[in-house]
């Protein structure tokens, strides 16, 4: 072993030298790669930036297209609104009285408020109907014609020269009485509804307003550099939206001295603007307005960003690579992988129940200590299983078998048959019935020495027991047994249901004179079998119930309690998730619920412990 350790140490020193050489040349290779990468970074970053701007511009334009289409849909929807048609039809509302007029206009008012609320991107909706003489707004209430005729909205909206028009550089401060900065202006769609819906007999105007600052915040996300300019143009190349309020409503060629038509016909281009330098140009056409989104990126700033990003990437690549190589060196040097893998493999074997296999490798480091601790652990687990689980299970089985062996079954059966014969000869039918039921009950109880019994046979034994008790107690009690057919074909520990039924007879209905009832139910729930034994006897108060439950679940108390023996047998064979629970109400009765797993015929051999068969 000493020679093996010496060879291992020699290999470690050799590996250290090899690793140092490897790290040195790896570092040289990383530096060379970084220098090579720096020559390509400008082009790659520029392409990535253009692609990113194109993608962002496309997404932003989709969002704006969504907003504008929503505004258009709302305007067109209100143009055919029944309330609008009624208010705009000459003579109809007034002819039906003021109440009908008020109801109709109030319905329209609620409608536009609802539209504004469910479309949170919209700031306000205005509807003006000439016949009604009212301006109805979702945000500022309703105004008569006399109160709003001098407003900027009336001057602009009531004089548009087409069925729909987009306007910017307009504010509704005159309605809100709040003085706001120019960036809080509105982008407004005005629709001449009577030009769209021919059913309207009077001039009707609908406007949908957006806060310009909200849209500009979305457009600001496109900016790739500090001085990137973003404009939104209408179909004629006029600026609808821009950061600079002075550029709004002006043709693009007046602002930047460039041809708007040429730019609006291509998605990505490059132009030179006077003495301002060269710009990367991105244009996204908007379907609703027929204009589009224009992005101007100064190429000088773009290269600056590219150079900074290039330097940062080179530094980060070098640092990450060096750290990674150093980490790999430390891990390989300390032989972490192999010993950990071995330990995990043996732990997996232990998980599968193999406590015989132990790690034979001897090490003089921390893993040697872990290997020794693991070997001790599996040895102790094996010993505990043998001493605690198997011995307790065998002891419990032998206790049951010892009780069964105290009676010679053949002698008992023969004796009972003789008693039955004598009873029949002497015409004593009740004794004959008791003896036959008792004989059948004990045949089921002994079950040829096996611990597991078919539930159908178990229930038959219970019926025999109950028939004997009915003869004993007379007609003072009745019983009901309801077992699902599927449950009857399964198997269960012998003598556990009988014990619970016995308790119900002796401690339940045995203490009342008449009207006793015992119900036994059996059914399946989620792959388990539930038995419920319930009586309407004397029951228990809370203090007595607590004592019974504590004794039933105790592992230290020495007791002859039938419920405790049942609980112990169930948990030893099936596990702690199974067992019985008790509920009781004083002078009302007791309910015992038992939960056991489903066991069918093919599974019996796995659970049935080996032992002597009582013949």
So what's the pLDDT on residue 249?
A: 82
Instruction: Name the residue with tokens 């060269």.
Output: 278
pLDDT category at 192 given cuts 50, 70, 90 is very high
Predicted confidence (pLDDT) per residue in 367-424, tens digit: 777 777 878 887 777 777 766 665 565 455 555 554 444 444 544 555 565 566 566 6
Whole-number Å distance between alpha carbons of 460 and 481: 10
Neighbouring residues of 179: CB distance < 8 A, sequence distance ≥ 6:
173
Q: Is the pLDDT of residue 129 over 80?
A: yes
**pLDDT score, position 438:** 66
| Tens digits of residue pLDDT in 503-515 | 888 888 877 778 8
Q: What is the DSSP letter of 519?
A: E
Helices 542-553 & 562-574 angle (0-180, nearest 10): 40
The closest of 268, 236, 264 to 250, measured between CA atoms, is 236
Render pLDDT for 270-282 as a digit per residue (tens, 0 to 9): 888 777 778 888 8
57-301 topology per CATH: Beta-Lactamase (3.30.450)
Over residues 178-187, the mean pLDDT reads 60
pTM here is: 0.45
492 has a pLDDT exceeding 50: yes
Between 227-241, 526-540, 556-570, the lowest mean confidence (pLDDT) is in: 556-570
Could you read off the pLDDT of 14-69 as tens digits, one per residue?
A: 445 555 666 666 666 666 666 566 656 666 666 777 777 778 888 888 888 888 89
What is the per-residue pLDDT for 579? 93
- Comparing 66-75, 241-250, 477-486, 495-504, the range with the smallest average pLDDT is 241-250
Most confidently modeled range among 115-119, 316-320, 350-354:
115-119
Residue 79 pLDDT > 80: yes
Domain ranges of the chain: 57-301, 340-400, 416-607
Position 31 scores a pLDDT of 62
Q: Is the pLDDT of residue 612 over 50?
A: no
**pLDDT tens-place string over residues 309-351:** 667 766 776 787 677 667 766 666 555 666 767 677 778 787 7
What was the pLDDT predicted at 427?
Answer: 59
CATH 3.30.565.10 given to domain 416-607: yes
For residue 224, the SS3 value is coil
In angstroms, rounded to a whole number, what is the distance separating the alpha carbons of residues 497 and 519?
12
How far is it, in rounded angstroms, from Cα 598 to Cα 489? Answer: 10
pLDDT for the residue numbered 608: 53
Q: Which residues pair with 534 in a beta bridge?
A: 519, 591
Looking at per-residue pLDDT, the higher value among 593 and 602 belongs to 593
CB atoms under 10 Å from CB of 146, counted, come to: 8
Residue 575 near residue 370, CB atoms below 8 Å = no
The closest of 485, 486, 470, 416 to 446, measured between CA atoms, is: 416
Identify which has the larger pLDDT, 148 or 5.
148
Query: Buried b vs exposed e over 151-186: b needs ≥16 C-beta within 10 Å?
Result: bebbebbbebeeebbbbbbbbbeebeeeeeeeebbb
Around 346, how many Cα atoms within 13 Å sit in the side-chain half-sphere? 21
Q: CA 479, CA 457: separation in Å to the nearest integer?
A: 18
CA dihedral defined by 396, 400, 405, 410, rounded to 10 degrees? -140
Position 6 confidence tier, pLDDT thresholds 50, 70, 90: very low
Question: Which of 441, 417, 442 minimizes the C-alpha distance to 431?
Answer: 417
**DSSP H or E run through 98:** helix 98-118
For 445-463, how does the pLDDT look when each residue is reduced to its tens digit (9 = 90+)?
Answer: 655 556 788 999 889 888 8
Higher pLDDT, 514 or 306: 514
Starting at the earlier edge strand, list the strands of the sheet with 579-585. 477-483, 516-525, 528-535, 589-597, 579-585
Q: Which of 110-124, 134-148, 243-257, 577-591 has the lowest mean pLDDT?
A: 243-257
User: Cα 318–324–327 angle (5° rounding)?
Assistant: 140
What does pLDDT average to over the chain? 77
Q: Is the separation of the CB atoms in 520 and 462 below 8 Å?
A: yes
583, with CB counted inside 10 A (0-12, 13-18, 19+), is middle
Rounded to whole angstroms, how far apart are CA atoms 539 and 586? 5
Report, as an integer, the average pLDDT of 73-89.
89
What is the pLDDT, as a whole number, of residue 541?
92
Q: What is the pLDDT of residue 2?
A: 38
pLDDT of residue 20: 60
Return the pLDDT at 12: 40
Residue 206 has pLDDT above 90, yes or no: yes
φ, ψ dihedrals at 605, nearest 5°: -60, -30
Q: Please report, rounded to a whole number, the percentage of residues in the chain having pLDDT higher than 90.
A: 16
| For residue 182, pLDDT beyond 50 | no
The residue among 275, 252, 274, 250 whose CA lies nearest residue 263 is 252
The pLDDT confidence band at residue 243, using thresholds 50, 70 and 90, is: confident
Phi and psi at residue 387, in whole multiples of 5°?
Answer: -80, -40
Is residue 598 over pLDDT 70?
yes
Task: Assess whether pLDDT exceeds 50 at residue 558.
Answer: no
Residue 506 per-residue DSSP state:
I
Strands of 164-170's sheet in order across: 141-144, 134-137, 124-129, 204-211, 186-192, 164-170
Q: What span, in angstroms and rounded, lies between the C-alpha atoms of 311 and 136? A: 59
């Amino acid at each position: 072993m000493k020679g093996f350790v010496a060879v291992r140490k020699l290999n470690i020193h050799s590996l250290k030298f090899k690793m140092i050489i490897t790290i040195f040349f790896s570092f040289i290779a990383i530096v060379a790669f970084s220098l090579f990468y720096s020559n390509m970074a400008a082009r790659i970053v520029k392409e990535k930036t253009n692609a990113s701007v194109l993608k962002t511009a496309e997404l932003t334009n989709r969002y704006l297209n969504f907003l504008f289409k929503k505004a258009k849909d709302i305007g067109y929807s209100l143009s055919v609104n029944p309330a609008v048609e009624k208010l705009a039809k000459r003579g109809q509302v007034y002819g039906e009285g003021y109440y009908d007029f008020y109801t109709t206009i109030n319905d329209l008012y609620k409608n536009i408020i609802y539209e504004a609320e469910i479309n949170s991107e919209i700031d306000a909706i205005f509807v003006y109907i000439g016949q009604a003489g009212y301006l109805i707004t979702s945000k500022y209430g309703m105004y008569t014609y006399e109160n709003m005729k001098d407003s900027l909205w009336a001057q602009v909206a009531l004089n548009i020269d087409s069925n729909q028009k987009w306007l910017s550089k307009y504010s509704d401060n005159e309605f809100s009485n709040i003085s706001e900065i120019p960036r809080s202006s509105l982008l407004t769609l005005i629709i001449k509804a009577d030009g769209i819906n021919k059913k309207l007999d009077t001039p009707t105007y609908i406007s949908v307003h957006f806060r310009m600052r909200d849209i500009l915040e979305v457009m600001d996300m496109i900016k790739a550099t500090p001085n990137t300019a973003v404009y939104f143009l209408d179909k004629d190349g006029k600026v609808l939206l821009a950061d600079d309020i002075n550029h709004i409503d002006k043709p693009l060629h007046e602002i930047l001295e460039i041809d708007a038509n040429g730019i609006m016909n291509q998605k990505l281009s490059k132009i030179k603007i006077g003495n301002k330098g060269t710009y990367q140009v991105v244009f996204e056409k908007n379907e609703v307005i027929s204009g589009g989104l224009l992005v101007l990126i100064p190429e000088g700033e773009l290269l600056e960003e590219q150079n900074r990003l290039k330097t940062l990437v080179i530094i980060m690549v070098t640092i990450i690579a060096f750290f990674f190589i150093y980490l790999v060196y430390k891990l390989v040097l300390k032989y972490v992988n192999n010993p950990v893998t071995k330990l995990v493999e043996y732990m997996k074997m232990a998980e599968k129940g193999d406590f015989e296999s132990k790690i034979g490798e001897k090490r003089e480091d921390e893993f040697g200590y872990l290997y020794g601790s693991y070997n001790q652990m599996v040895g102790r687990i094996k010993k505990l299983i043998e001493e605690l689980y198997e011995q307790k299970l065998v002891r419990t089985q032998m206790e049951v078998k010892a009780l069964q062996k105290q009676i010679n079954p053949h002698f008992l059966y023969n004796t009972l048959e003789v008693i039955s014969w004598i009873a029949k000869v002497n015409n004593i039918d009740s004794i004959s019935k008791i003896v036959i039921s008792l004989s059948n009950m004990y045949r089921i109880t002994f079950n040829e020495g096996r611990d597991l019994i078919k539930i159908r046979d178990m229930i038959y034994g219970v019926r025999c027991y109950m028939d004997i008790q009915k003869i004993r107690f007379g007609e003072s009690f009745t019983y009901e047994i309801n077992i699902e057919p599927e449950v009857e074909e399964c198997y269960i520990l012998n003598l556990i249901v009988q014990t619970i039924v016995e308790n119900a007879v002796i401690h339940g209905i045995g203490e009342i004179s008449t009207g006793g009832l015992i119900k036994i139910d059996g059914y399946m729930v989620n792959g388990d079998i539930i038995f419920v034994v319930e009586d309407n006897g004397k029951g228990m108060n809370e203090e007595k119930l607590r004592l019974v439950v504590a004794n039933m679940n105790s592992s230290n108390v020495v007791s002859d309690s039938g419920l405790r023996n049942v609980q112990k047998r169930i948990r030893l064979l099936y596990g702690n998730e199974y067992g019985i629970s008790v509920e009781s109400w004083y002078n009302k009765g007791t309910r015992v619920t038992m939960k056991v797993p489903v066991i069918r015929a093919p599974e019996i051999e796995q659970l049935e412990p080996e032992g002597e068969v009582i013949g």
